[in-house]
A and B are shown apart, each in its own frame.
Chain A
């Protein structure tokens, strides 16, 4: 389901959360939405899900504006970390409500997910542990099969094995029922393999929107004798450097052609990949 965001502005009082953001997602893919705390991820998803009305700019999902548009909103599921969408009575009640709300709900699938995460059906969602509540959110989010499904840190309360189970379930269900999925996360290394495209937002604007593989191919670490590293990286965009005695490692951002690569090897430098988390950290201003 196509997502278009144009000059989007969202202000809360005198705080500007989204500052003229524009991008478009073709749809049918798994998108990673990355940003530091306060960068505007949650604000953006709240507007996309019509939880909030934008201050200015346009948002359309599947070609339709979303705010106060019941038809459009039925196709959009946003699961937040707090799991507030599911804190309606017992787990059973939450599933019943979701089934009523979602035309594409798959109750058999919901049952199998309840078993996968070992969730008690009769328990009041508000009395569940944080991990169970997160898992409830994941069950509702996946079984909704909404054409646009967004998970905003929904799995933060889940332990590592449950998160792994979530990633596996998400991938399997996406393969079986392709749809547009947006995942926002701080656990970048855990999830980055699932992304087909990545949108990095920073201070209310889009900083990077690229295919994950293209983004990863732009990051190269150059390691070797400090002087040789400096000569090699002169004129290139260096995101960060670390030094250990005479050895230096620089993170370079940009395409390196074959000639440059040969040069590096001839100078005894080692070239290596940079993972998405490191790229993210350095593209958004380093670890300060």
Chain B
């Protein structure tokens, strides 16, 4: 997934997604307003609003007219599912490529994973 929308869009979207994944933001909880985000990041409110609109389009947030933006009830499950889909391609594959490039035997990598993973 490549995305060249402005880094500020990504910062806002990533921050909100991370908060949802960590449950700092819970289902149906209200998120800060676009104006509060605009002031925090020192950006135009229209830019912040666009970032929120993308999150609404993705189904991460939903809008209550005149009140604000809220976390979709299934946002966390959806984000987790999406992360799972890209987990191997984005995390594991580059790690294996890096291990090969610098000469770490894959067996060592597996051993490490088993150590850290414990009994799971």
Contact = CB atoms under 8 A, between A and B. Distances in A.
Contacts of B41: 193
A232 to B, nearest CB: 14
Contact of A175 (B4, B6, B9, B38): B38
A194 B5 contact: no
Contacts of B4: 217, 220, 256, 271-273
Secondary structure dominating the interface of A? helix
Interface stretch (A117-125, A129-137, A139-147, A164-172): A164-172
Interface residues on B, range: 10 to 19
Which of A29, A216, A217, A265 has the largest number of chain B CB atoms within 10 A?
A216
A130 B42 CA distance: 25
A217 B8 CA distance: 12
Interface stretch (B43-51, B67-75, B100-108): B43-51
A248 to B, nearest CB: 19
Interface string A161-187: 000000110011011000000000000
Nearest to B2: A261
B96 interface: no
Which of B8, B44, B46, B47 has most chain A Cβ within 10 Å? B44
A180 to B, nearest CB: 13
Contacts of A194: 42-44
B38 A271 contact: no
A212 B44 contact: yes
A213 interface: yes
B39 A172 contact: yes
Contacts of B42: 167-168, 171, 193-194
A172 B43 CA distance: 11
A216 B6 contact: yes
B30 interface: no
Contacts of A51: none
A195 interface: yes
Interface string B1-36: 010111111000000000000000000000000010
B5 A217 contact: yes
Given A171-B38, A175-B35, A30 B44 contact: yes
Interface in B58-115: none
Nearest to B45: A175
B39 A175 contact: yes
A278 interface: no
A93 interface: no
Nearest to B43: A193
A106 interface: no
A29 B50 CA distance: 15
Contacts of B2: 261, 265, 271
A171 B39 contact: yes
A168 B42 CA distance: 7
A213 B43 contact: no
A196 B39 contact: no
A196 B6 contact: no
Complex A-B, nearest 5 residue pairs according to Cβ-Cβ distance, in ascending order: A193-B43, A196-B46, A196-B44, A216-B6, A261-B2
Given A194-B42, A196-B44, A220-B4, 11 more contacts: A171-B44, A172-B39, A175-B35, A175-B45, A193-B8, A193-B43, A193-B47, A194-B44, A213-B50, A271-B4, A273-B6
Interface of B: 2, 4-9, 35, 38-39, 41-47, 50
Interface of A: 29-30, 167-168, 171-172, 174-175, 193-196, 212-213, 216-217, 220, 256, 261, 265, 271-273
13 contacts: A29-B46, A167-B42, A168-B39, A168-B42, A171-B44, A172-B39, A193-B41, A193-B43, A194-B43, A212-B44, A212-B47, A213-B5, A217-B4
